[in-house]
Structure 1
Amino acid sequence: MKRLEEDLFIWPDAAAVPTLTVEQLHWLLDGVDLTVVHKHPERFYARVA
């Protein structure tokens, strides 16, 4: 728990504020560490068979 000692909170500028998807928000609320979650790389194939 933090307390306010200098009469203001340090707030990042708009460029440093992260945006979350709904899925990431649910993960965060479930206690999943988002820094270790990585998506699989997207792959593109020239042909199917």
Structure 2
Amino acid sequence: MPAFEAWKSTLYGFTPDQEPPYRWQLVTRPVTDLFQAAADRVASGDVPR
């Protein structure tokens, strides 16, 4: 899995070392929450590599 996709995996409910269970991932929370969670991670220094 590409590094950026692995970084995003925890936002979707699985760990970076897991392959997504399906080709498409169902988003189970509002997109605004996903963007906020990603922004919080970046602001804390956990940036995509």
Give me the TM-score of the superposition, normalised by structure 2.
Answer: 0.26
Bigger Rg, which one? 1
Specify which structure has the higher proportion of helix: 2
Give the TM-score normalised by structure 1: 0.26
